[in-house]
Structure 1
Amino acid sequence: MKKLIFIVLLILSDTALSESSVKPLSEKLEKEISENMSESSYFPILKPGDWVGITHGAVRQTLIGEPENPDLVIGFGMDTPENFVFLMHSDEDKLDIQNVVNNAYSNLENMDVVFTPSQVLDNKVLTASGKLFSSEAILSKKHMLKAHKILNAKQMLVSIPRRTGLMAISRDAPKEILNKFIYLHSHAWNDASYGNAPIANVLFVLEGGDIVGIIPMD
């Protein structure tokens, strides 16, 4: 039972937890997790390299950095009515981990992502924001190819400084617009007022819908 309790608290807070901080779950929360846990319920979720889940057994893939010393990872989470629960290696007795991961990416592919051109920036910057997994759209080749097409861009720069937000621009956009794009990225990275968790202070370089490089911004 302690492992299940820890999983729930881990999702509610990104701060490190000690065993002494673990509190009993209500029967309602235990039932909620049990009823919602299935191999088709998860989505990929981007997390910074210092995410507490890494040291406590969360299933993850490294996106930036080395597996032993990551800067950005992909976890796999399930959104329930009252809680957010991550896939843990300790769940392998209940779930097929590889199936969960495969289904998570399929769920992302099937998600409706709406790219909105910014009129203020001469329609040369696309935004997709407000949805729980908007930032994770960068992991979907299908969604990124759609953005390439709208921007008519061979290469794109994509910004996902904090959760639920994504911006994209052609790498060949006018310098003035690129500078404004970089400013907006930096502003979002430094603005915690909306309570969205930080992801990465980098610009991702995409070509053909795939991430081909990063540009550190710090």
Structure 2
Amino acid sequence: MSSTIYGPEKTPEEIAKIVEQTENSDKKIYPILKPGNWVGLRAGAISSNLIGTEEDGDLEVVIAYGMDTPDNFVFLTHDHLKTMDGQFIMNEAFENIDNYNTEFEYSKALQNKVLTASGHDFSSERILSKSHMLKAHKMLEADELLVSIPRRSCMMVISKDADNELLNTFLYLHKNAWEDDSYGNAPIANIFFVVKDGEITGHAALS
């Protein structure tokens, strides 16, 4: 994952002042997962690359950043970097997603071998929380996980070593969620993320 947000060069004094102003804001910054062809990128939204790079032409998933306000979610753009520090934005966003509370539930219909954690604004983004994903390792007693986050507010997790029949069912459920736009949840990616030790280590494209 590219972990840099580029903006205008600032002196340490300017950065310290910006951080102080941002810390005093009551608006929380969160990361938002978006597909690599998201129109917001052309509109100037700041982002980090999660899968692929623009230079190589294989950009699949990016992390955008935004403020959660009472009225709506405001994506941060390069204009915000004139008055905000990029590294602080990232640190704040990842800390907030780590503290955002969602819990895994066993799927009884799938022999308690699949976990779900869906239905909340930042359910999908919780894949970026190492502590959250470590819970999944423990609950499934699995060293490696396959994680499905086809759309926002959706997450399903299975052991990478699950039997073929269960993996095929998992794939079927992912495919249905990816193709079902009836709930209006924005699409993220038609892929499985591979997670080890609580962190994304790879992915498998399904298209």
Using the size of structure 1 for normalisation, the TM-score is 0.80
Q: Deviations over 1:34-86 (max 9, x none)?
A: xxx94961111000111112112211001111133321100001222222101
Partner of residue 40 from structure 2, selected from 53, 64, 87: 53
Aligned AA for 1:48?
A: P
Shift of 1:93: 2.8
RMSD: 1.7
Structure 2 residue aligned with 1:86: 75
Q: Counterparts of 1:10-21 in structure 2 under 5 Å?
A: none
Listed as ranges, the gaps of 5+ residues in structure 2 are 1-23
Partner of residue 200 from structure 2, selected from 195, 211, 214: 211
Q: Deviations over 1:14-53 (max 9, x none)?
A: xxxxxxxxxxxxxxxxxxxxxxx94961111000111112
Listed as ranges, the gaps of 5+ residues in structure 1 are 1-36
SS of alignment partner, residue 161 of structure 1: coil
The answer to which of 37-46 and 164-173 deviates more is 37-46
The answer on whether the counterparts of 2:27 and 2:67 sit within 8 Å (CA) in structure 1 is no
Shift of 1:212: 1.2
2:160 is the alignment partner of 1:171: yes
Shift of 1:159: 0.1
Partner of residue 51 from structure 2, selected from 58, 64, 75: 64
Shift of 1:178: 1.1
Q: Deviations over 1:131-178 (max 9, x none)?
A: 100000111111111111100001100000000010000011122111
Partner of residue 30 from structure 2, selected from 27, 43, 46: 43
* Cα distance, 1:180–1:126 mapped onto 2, change above 3 Å: same
Distance 2:172 2:25 in 1: 41
How many percent identity over aligned positions?
A: 54
SS of alignment partner, residue 113 of structure 1: coil
2:158 is the alignment partner of 1:155: no
Q: Deviations over 1:85-124 (max 9, x none)?
A: 0111111233222212111100011111200000000000
Using the size of structure 2 for normalisation, the TM-score is 0.84
